[in-house]
Structures are given as structure tokens and as C-alpha cells.
Structure 1
Amino acid sequence: MFKNLTFSNKLLYGVLTVLILTSIITTYLIYNKAFEATKTTSEKYMIELAHKNALEIKGDIEKSVVLIKTFSSTLETALKEDFIYSKPELVSLMSSVLEKNPYIVGVWLYLEPNTFYENNPSMAGRYSHDENGRFSPYVLKNNGSLDLMWQYPVLKANSWILEPMRTGKEFISEPYKFVVDGENVLNTTVSIPLFNNNEIVGVVGIDISLESIVKKISKLKLLNNGYGYILTAEGTVIAHPDEEYHGKKLIELEKNEITKKILENIKNKKELFFDNTSTYTNKSSYNYLDTFTIANSGVNWGFGLSVPNEEYLNDAFTIKNFSIIASCISTILIALVLYYFTKILNSKLTIIQSGLNSFFDFLNKKTKNPKNIEISNNDEFGKMALNINNNIENISSNIQKESLLLDDVKKVLSSVNHGYIDKKITLSSNSDTLNELKNLINNMLKNLENFVGNDINKLSEILEEYSSNNFTLQLNEKTSGKLGNKIISMNDMINKMLQQNQLDGKTLEQSSYQLNNNVKILTQNALKQISFLEQTTDSINQISENIRDSSSKSTQMFNISSCTKDSAIKGKKLAFQTANSMDEINEKVSAINESISIIDQIAFQTNILSLNAAVEAATAGEAGKGFAVVAQEVRNLANRSAEAAKEISKLVQSATVQTNEGKIISDSMIEGFNDLENNVVETNKLIDSVTNAAKDQENKINEISQIINELNRFTNENTKVANKTSDIASQTKKISSKIVENVQKNNFNGKEI
């Protein structure tokens, strides 16, 4: 659709598009800049306001901390100087603290046993004494008057007592609701440890009403619907426009991620900007949270401000709307101006277009004369029309000359088309390009004439004859050009080549016939050689088998001889063992002979003793008769022992003789086994020599067999080569015959019939 529009309309739409885009971008930039500036200004204001209120709240709480520290210092000084206040004086001092500070609703004192005052059991349970009679007073505001709690109210289990005693520094409790003057209001307790000689002996504390802070912050207004609030690090809401929030945990009221982030920033004492939807106004709001630490307690509170986006960005929205309206008005005005001038531009462009269309019709041969552009104004369009008309006249004149030149070119190219290249272009025009083209064509024709001659038809006829294998025709060297002269040279070369091919073909034909016959003889001889080699191989294999059999039998003989040698060695060892045994027997026999000699001597002495005993018995008469009988028996035993010793001696002598004979026989056997062993060694050497010789023969025979196998393989390969050579010779013969046949098909100078 955009392509079919006129230039003026395209220009109008293009300018309007650019204008609208520029207005949109400008409006966006102005709004963005205004938004950032407004946001920055609002942030600065919120930071200043939050800091101001946070400092005021911090100052109010820290006044109480300073006050309780002063009260504690007074008591510590009294302890140090051993000055003891009376109980009414102490209560009066505590009451004065309440009277001078309207935001303090209670003052209390916790003392360790027997500190300041001795325990008084008689006061147990009365006048702020505990069950053990310890005095720990608590003065409280109540409906405009000051009351001393009669029953003991201060319990050590409370965190505002335990924490100061544990940490040794001031403690601020989490806000809690407490009835003051008949109303349930938020309170917080500030307590600090009481020291005596660097030991904690008690805790001093005050109860602070947060009602004034709550009212002040709850009434705080930021723009129309913005508000402030106070939170503790534990999430307790101290102040908020909605009273239902007071004393409650924020995490219970708003369970989301931003709540966790708020509490985390208060604990870490970091400020925070964030966006959320306020549950109080139900509007998208921008928030700032400032944090502060109360005294040296380490307790952090946060003061926050929340304002709806539509209010704190009100100036930015106003600037945005103004920018949009101003942009729309300026765009409409510029569009009207553009439309008026575009209409004028369109009418003049239509006139110029009509004149150019007439000129283009002339160029396309639709009309004979072009029309001039009729614009008489002296503006840019009038000057452009005059310039176009002058150029049209000049172009028309040049076109006529160029037409004549082109006709001359057609004639020359027609002559070239018929194969005649000696014609040239003679006419010229005002166009440098056409004149240059004319010169280029003439130079091309001249170069072409020098290259192919003045008549291409003659050249074509000669080439057709050559393609028909007729090389007998010749060109004229003077009129044929460089290409014709090259063809003449080529014709001479082809004639000589064909003559040589004819001669080479016949020679090759004769040589291939002789080669074929020689290859046949070579093949027959190779076949005979193969037959002889096979017979030789069979004979060598038989010899090799006989040698292997002889070698095997020699090995068997060597094994038998080795067994005989082993047996002889074993026999020799047994003979040595027998001789040694004989020597041992002789030694034993000698020992027996010595023992028999001793026995014989003992028998002889026993016989003498028995005779002496018999004599003594006879001398004794009747008393020695029994002893005589014993002596006779002893003599008999001695005689039998002597006879037995003689018999054993004879047997031992006989055994000694036989043992000596056995030793002689054993020595003879040892000599025989030595001779047998030497003979077996000599036999083994001979068998080993025969076996080695057989192995050498076998190796030689194997080498001969391998050589014959190689010869057989070479002979087979030669046979194959001979067969291939025969095939090649046959193929060469066919090729040579084909060459001669092909040469005979050509007609050339010097051809042999």
C-alpha cells in the first residue's frame, strides 16, 4: 500500500511518523526525567522526615536511660560512701523521678539480699518486702497519684532483671501493654545494673509509657494519605495509624518476604526503600525505613514512612499529561503546515512527471518529439523545469546521431556475421561512450582479422576437412592470419605424425610377433624346470626322512646308555656303602672281642672267688654248708660263662673272616663299576657325535629343500610372468595392427599404400 502512494504523500507520512515518534520519545524522556527528579526529591524528603522523627523518638527514650543512670549513680555513690537512705527517703527519691517526668509511669528497684538494708523478716509480705523481708520498692503512677506497691512486685525471673545482671549493661524490653491511669497502653521497661565494688548488687528500672510517641506518630501525615510507623527489631508494632496494629507482631499482620527483609534490616541497622501495597490504604505505596539504636543497649528500632505512589509522583504525572497534550497540539499544527506545502509540491511534481513521461515516450520510440515542461515560476521547480527542457533538447540531438552510428554498426556486424572481417565503422556521434565503443569494435575487428584472416568461411572449410581426416588441403599464409598460419603448421605436424605412426605401427607389429614366439619357448622351458625340481624335492625329502630316523635311533641309544650310566653310578654307590658297612662290622667285632676278653676274666675271677668261698664254708662247718652250695653254683655259672665266651669268640672270628671277604668283593665291584661308567661315558660321546652329525645333515638337507622350494617358487613366478608377457605380446600385436589400421583411415601426404 505504501509503495502506491505519491512521493509527496510518502514525504508527508514519513515526516508525520518521525514527528510522532519524536514526540513520544520526548514525552517519555520528559516524564522519565520528571519521575526520577520527583522520586529523588521525595526520597530526600522522606529521609529527612524519617531521620527527624527517629532522632526525636531516640532522644525521648534515651532521656529515660540518662535519668535511670543518674538514679543508679546516686545509689552506687551512697553504697560506696556507706550512706544509707531510709526507706521512706528512697521511696521519696523514686517518687520525685516520676513527678518530674510525665512519660515515666513507674520506678522500681531490685536489690540482692542484705544490700542497703538488712532483711527484716517481720516486714515479710508488707511495704514492698518479699517473703524473706527483703526491701525492693516499686513506685507507680495511678490515676494522677503515686502509689508504692505494697506487695512485693519485682520478680527476678523477669527479663528486665535477668538481662542487666547477665550483660552488665542497660536493657530495654520489648514493648508490652500495661494499664496506666485506667487505660491499656504500650509501655517499655529500661533497666540498668547497680554496682558496688565492681559487683552487681541489684537492678534499677523505669517503666516508660509510649502513648505520647504512639499518638504523635499515628497523627503524622505525609501528603494526603501517607503515614508513619515504628517497629522493633522483633517485629512489634509500636505506632501505626491503625490502632489494631499496636503491640502486635508485624509477621502476623503481613506474612510476606518484604516483612522478613524489614525486620532483618532493623536488626542490622540498615535503611531500606521498598514498594508494596499498603494493607492500611490498599494502595501501591513507596516506603522508607530508617533504623536507630537506643543508647548502648544494642536494641534497634525502625521508623518507617509510607506514601501512595499516586501522591508522591503527582508532579511527575502532571508533567506527563502536560507533555502529552503539548506534543499532540504541536504535531497537529506541524501536520497542517506540511499538508499545505505537500499539496503545492504534489501539483508541481505532477507537471514535471508529465514532461518526463513525454520524454521517456520519445526515448522508447512512442513519439517523435518530446514536450517541454511548462512551469514559469522562478522558484526551485521553475529552474529545475528549465534545466530539464534544455537537457531534453540536447539528448534528442544526440539520440539522432547515435541512431545513425548504430545503423552503421549493424551493417559492419552483419558483414562480420557472414564471415567477412575486412569491413570497418566510419560514422561518429556526440557520445564519448559510443565513439569509444566504435573504436573498440574497429580495433577488435582489426585484431580479429590479424588473428583469423579476412575470411572465416575459408578457415571453417579447412577445419571441416581436417575433422573428416583429410589433411591434404592447405591455407594461404598471407590471408589466413595468425590462426591460419598455426593451422598450417599443425597440418604439417599431423602429416609427419601420421607418417611416423604408420611406420611405428608396422615395426611394432613385427616385434610383437617375435616376442610372442620367444615367450612361448620360455614358458615351455619353465614347465620342464618345474618338473625336474619336483623330482629333486621328492628325493631330498626321502633322504631327510632317513636322516631323521637315524637321529631318532641315536637319541634312543643315548638315552639307554645314560640309563646304564645311572645304574652303574647307583651300583658303585651301593658297593661303597657295602664296604663301609663291612668296616663298621669289623669295628663292632673288635669291640665284641674286647668285651668277651673282659667276660672271660670276670669268669676266671668269679671261679677263684667261689673256690675261696667253698674253702671258707668248709672251715665254717655246719654253719657254712648253705654258703658252700651257693659258692658251688657261682663256680658253675663262672665255668658256663667262660665256655659261652669261648663260643662267642669263635663266632666273632668267623664273622670277621667273612666280613673281610665281603669287603674284598665290594672293592672289586667298585673297580668294575668304575670301568663300566667310563665305558658308558665313551659310548655316550660316540652316540652324541653321531646324533650331532645327523642333525647337521638334517639341517643341510632342510636348507637344500628350502632352496629348491624357492627355486620352484621363482620358476612358477617366471612361468606366470612368461604367461603374462605372452598375453602382453598378443595384446601389443593387436594394438599395433589397430594403429596401422587407424593410420590407414587418414588421408595425408606421404601415405604408404
Structure 2
Amino acid sequence: MKWFSSLSIGVKLVLTIVSSVLIGMLLLSAIILNKVGENMRESIEETIANASKNYATYMKSVLDESIVLNKGVATTLNAIFQSEEKDEVDFGDVQNIVKNMFDNSAYATYTFLYMLETPKNFRNLDKKYYTQSGKFAMLYQNTNEFANSAVLQQSDDALLQSPIIEKIIKETKESGKNSQTIYVGNPRALHIAGKEILGLNIAAPIFDKEKNLIGIIGYNFDFVNISGVLNDPKLDLFEGDIRALVTRDGVITIHKNTDLILQNIFERNAHEEAKPVYQAVKDGETRVFDNYRTTSGLDSYASVHSFQTVGDTSEWAILVTTPKSSALAALKDLQQTIIIIALCVLIFVSIAVYFFVRKIVGARLPIILRTLQSFFRYLNHESKEVHTIKIRAQDELGAMGQIINDNISRTQKSLLQDEEAIAQSAQTAKEIESGNLKARIIKNPANPQLVELKNVLNTMLDVLEHKIGGDTNEIARVFDS
């Protein structure tokens, strides 16, 4: 700290004050940014948690609606086929029921009725009702999502080979189940009527009076329209948001990146930070994560909201991710703003302190120093001139200057008085030397020691005059005669 001790008082004051202000502003900025950051992060986590909850609620309602619709139609058909012989069931009634499924669902693209054995009244119809192998399968397509425009399509054996139909037939035969269970298939690329669509099949078995499986009623849930809703840019909370619908097994059903559709999300992201998120999906948990890393390597927030469709028919999760770079952009802007403001304030304070200290202290202390140096040179008889300080303010430095001025004036007067007394003493000594013992030192010096010396000399002269006379010349003349 030798360098600091060698600095002038003004520079020391400026450095001390500016350093204190800088430290104070750094601490204040750090506290403010830390508190704001915590609140912002909590707000972001709460926001994406609410978003994932809302999307999950929406998807659950849409899927539940479709499942309940299918169950209602299945219940109606089961009532028909169990109330009369299957060969006596009116084809027109069944046809209307199947076609009217589109009236109650905005997300069905195809609806189908597969009869394991073709009823009597279902024979000799349009060839579109029969597959290549001659099996009866009624297949309708809804060509207008805003109105029921069911169009009969050529049925295909590929439809009958779909996993959900095979599952219903297998489970019914193996376990003898005859309940109206609703089956929900897995998301997949469905090949229907020569077209490929993204969706899943929802189906239910149909039984006759003897509780034998005679048919399957179902329809395709189309994810194309619903993905347009979920991926609407208007729903973006922050730039780079991702909203994904995945199955409990990790199959991506809805995602902004269409290349990821139907791929397994567990296999697409090998980052260590993604594992807890995917484990939550597997376990059917609802959680928020603040250290998720996307497949592209972006540090993000993630919220998982798991849900089950009605009757536990299927299990899903909504995954919402938000890049930290965009979610915390406002915090970064705030940090930059605070830093800029802090620098501006620091510069302003530094300039103000510099000029203030220079005006109040820096410019006045040298004057006092020079005055004292001049005064000491005067006391040491190195100079005959001494200057007083011009008082400009009534503060401590002003009072100090006034005291110095007063002492300079008194010292000058005292020295002048002493000089006059010494000069008069010298004159008296010359008179004594010439023989006049009546001469006395009249001038009073200001210095007490000189006053005492003056008194001693005058007393000595009084004694000499009393004992030998007042004129040594006359005494010498007497002795010489």
C-alpha cells in the first residue's frame, strides 16, 4: 500500500469514495439480479407447468370425447344385435349409426364396422363393402371436417389386419371377455383406403345374444388437425417453445419437427440431462425440470404433465420445453440495463466526486501547505515575506485557514515587537558603552524570555548606577586627576 500512501489526500478521497460506491453498486446489483432471477425462474417454471397442464387437459378432453363416442355407438350396436338375430338386423339402421359417428366427432377421418360373419341383410350390397377376401367391412371417410359428409370407401383386408382388430379378436377368444371394453391403439401411420394418415384406432367389440363376438366398430382418430391446434405459433410462450404429445412408451405423436413424429423420444435424446424428464414420462409423473437439454443441445426448461384417458384406456404425457436463452432473455436485458446504469452512475459519481474533492479539498490543501511552508521559512529567517490564506468558505478548512492567518498575524506582530525591543536594546548598549549608565531598555518585547532578559538588564543597570554613579566618563576623569 506504499503507492496509496504516497498519493495526495484528494486522490485518496476520490479513490476511496469511488471504490466504496463501486462495491456498493456491485452488491446491490447482485442482490437485485439474484432476487429478480429467482422470481423470474419460478414464474417461468409455473408458466410452463400451467401450459402443459392446459394442453394435457385439452388433449384428454379430445381423446375422452372420441372414446366416449365410440363407446356410445358400440353400446347402441350391441343393443341392436343383442335384441334380435343378427341376420334380421336392418342394414340401413346400422349404416346410419356408423355414418352419424362423424356428427359427433371433429377428429375422425374414417369410421369402420367389421363383421366377422356377414349377416344375411348385409349381403349382396355394393362391392365396396367387401374386402378382397370377401369379408364385410363398412368403411366411411369424412371429407369435410366441418360437416358430416360420409363417403363410402372400398374396404381392404389391410384394415382387418390392423393391430387393434387383431388384439380385440385375440383377447376375446383367449379370455372369453364379452364386456364392452374400449380399445385404444397406438399412434401409427395408418393405411386406409389407399392413403396413409397419422392417427390411432379406437374400437370396441360387438356381441350377439349369445355374447359371441360378431363384429368390431371403430374409427380413426386423426392427429393432423389436432397437431395444428397444439403447434399453433400463437401458443408460444417464448421463442423456440416445443409442445409434444407422447405416449407413456415415448412415441412422439405431435411435435413441431415432423421428422420426429412416430419416433421414440427416449432414443432420440442421449443427453444425461434428458433422462430424468423421460423417466417422469415413463412413470406417469407431472413435474417441472430446470436443467433439460433438447436433442439439439439447447439448455431448456421442461414440464411433463401425464394423463390417462377415460377408463384408463391409454396413457399419455404432454411435454413442454422452453429454451433458457429465450425464457431468460428479459433477465439478460435487465442485467445489461443494470450494468449500463451502474456504469453511468459510477462515471457520474466519479466525475462529481473528483470535481467536488478537487474544489473543496484538492485545490485548498496545497494553498494551506504553501502558506505553512512560507510561514516556517519566515520563522527560520529564510524569508522575509509570508502570505496569508484567502478564506473562501466557512468550513473546517476555512476555520483552519483562519487560525493560520491569525497566528501568522500575531507572530508577525510579536517578531516585529521583538525586533524593535532588540534594536532599542542595542541602542541602549551603545549608550552604556559611551558611559551613560542612566540609559534603560524601554521597548517591551513580545517574547516572555526577552522581557525577563530586559528586566534583568535594567535591574543590573540600576544597581551599577546606584553604586558607581550614572556617568562612567566622570568617574574615569576623577580617577585620572
For the superposition of Structure 1 and Structure 2, which TM-score range results when normalised by the shorter chain?
A: 0.5 to 0.7
How far off its partner does 1:140 sit?
4.2
Deviation of 1:306 after TM superposition, in Å, equals 3.0
SS at 2:259's partner residue?
Answer: helix
Which SS does the other structure have where 2:285 is aligned? coil
Q: Which has the higher strand share?
A: 2
Distance 1:158 1:231, change over 3 A: same
Cα pair 1:141 1:147 within 8 Å, conserved: yes
Q: Is the 8 A contact 2:271 2:293 kept in 1?
A: no
Q: Deviation digits for residues 153-178 of structure 1, max 9, x if unmatched?
A: 53587335556886964332220101
Residue 379 (structure 1) aligns with: 395
Output aligned runs, 1:543-558, within 5 Å: none
Corresponding residue for 2:151?
145
Shift of 1:137: 3.7
The letter of the residue matching 1:331 is: L
Counterparts of 1:195 and 1:7 in 2: how far apart (Å)?
103
Which residue of 255, 271, 281 corresponds with 2:287? 271
**Displacement of 1:234:** 1.0
SS of 2:160 mapped into structure 1: coil
2:227 counterpart of 1:214: yes
* 8 Å contact from structure 1 (residues 172, 191) kept in 2: yes
Counterpart residue identity of residue 340, structure 2: I
Distance in 2 of aligned mates of 1:73 and 1:17: 82
Q: Does 1:229 align with 2:244?
A: yes
1:238 to partner: Cα distance: 1.0
- For 1:149 and 1:128, the matched residues in 2 are separated by 6
Q: Which residue of 2 aligns with 1:56?
A: 58
Tell me what 1:642 maps to.
none
TM-score of the superposition, structure 1-length normalised? 0.43
1:356 CA displacement: 8.3
- Please list every run of 5 or more consecutive structure 1 residues that lacks an aligned counterpart in the other structure: 394-753
1:71 aligns with 73
Counterpart residue identity of residue 270, structure 2: K
- Structure 1 segment 264-663 matched on structure 2, within 5 A: 264-267=279-282, 268-279=284-295, 283-297=298-312, 299-343=314-358, 344-350=360-366, 376=391, 377-384=393-400
Q: What SS does structure 2 have at the residue aligned with 1:229?
A: strand
Counterpart among 189, 201, 214 of residue 189 in structure 1: 201
| TM-score, length basis structure 2 | 0.64
RMSD: 4.6
Question: Could you tell me how far apart the structure 2 residues matched to 1:374 and 1:18 are?
Answer: 33
The answer as to 2:261 corresponding to 1:246 is yes
Shift of 1:139: 2.3
* Counterparts of 2:368 and 2:266, CA distance in 1: 80
**Is the Cα contact below 8 Å between 1:233 and 1:300 reproduced in 2?**
yes
Q: Corresponding residue for 1:31?
A: 33
**Mapping for residues 150-189 of structure 1, pairs under 5 Å:** 153-154=159-160, 158-159=166-167, 161-162=169-170, 169-180=181-192, 183-189=195-201
3-state secondary structure, aligned to 1:158: helix
Per-residue CA shift, 1:5-37, capped at 9, x if unaligned? 233322211111121222223333333344344
* Corresponding residue SS for 1:10: helix
Q: Distance in 1 between matches of 2:12 and 2:153?
A: 94
Q: Which residue of 1 aligns with 2:452?
A: none
User: Which whole-Å deviations, capped at 9, do the CAs of 1:360-393 have from their partners, x for residues lacking one?
Assistant: 99xxx9x9xxx99957453212334566899999
Alpha-carbon distance in 2 for matches of 1:269, 1:161: 33
Partner of 2:6: 4
Residue 684 of structure 1 is matched in structure 2 by: none
Query: Does the Cα contact within 8 Å between 1:130 and 1:152 map onto a contact in 2?
Result: no
* CA radius of gyration, larger in: 1
Matched to 2:139, the amino acid is V
Task: Note closer, same or farther for the CA distance 1:328–1:8 as it changes in structure 2 (3 Å cut).
Answer: same
Cα deviation per residue 1:106-132 (whole Å; 9 max; x = unaligned)?
A: 44456788xx969x9999x9966999x
Number of aligned residues: 380
CA contact (8 A) 2:172 2:213 kept: no
| Cα separation, 2, equivalents of 1:105 and 1:176 | 14
* Conserved? CA contact 1:105–1:207, under 8 Å: yes
Distance 1:224 1:57, change over 3 A: same
Aligned partners of 2:298, 2:292: CA distance in 1, in Å? 8
Distance, in Å, in 1 between the alignment partners of 2:85 and 2:403 is 122
Cα distance in 2, alignment partners of residues 235 and 193 from structure 1: 28
Three-state SS of the structure 1 residue aligned to 2:16 is: helix
Paired residue secondary structure (2:279): helix
User: More helix by proportion, 1 or 2?
Assistant: 1
**Structure 2 residue ranges without an equivalent (≥5):** 144-149, 411-481
CA distance in structure 2 between the partners assigned to 1:150 and 1:224 by the alignment: 45
Matched-pair contact (CA < 8 Å) for 1:140–1:146: yes
**One-letter code of the match for 2:259?**
E
Higher RCO (CA 8 Å, separation ≥ 6 residues): 2
The aligned counterpart of 1:14 is: 16
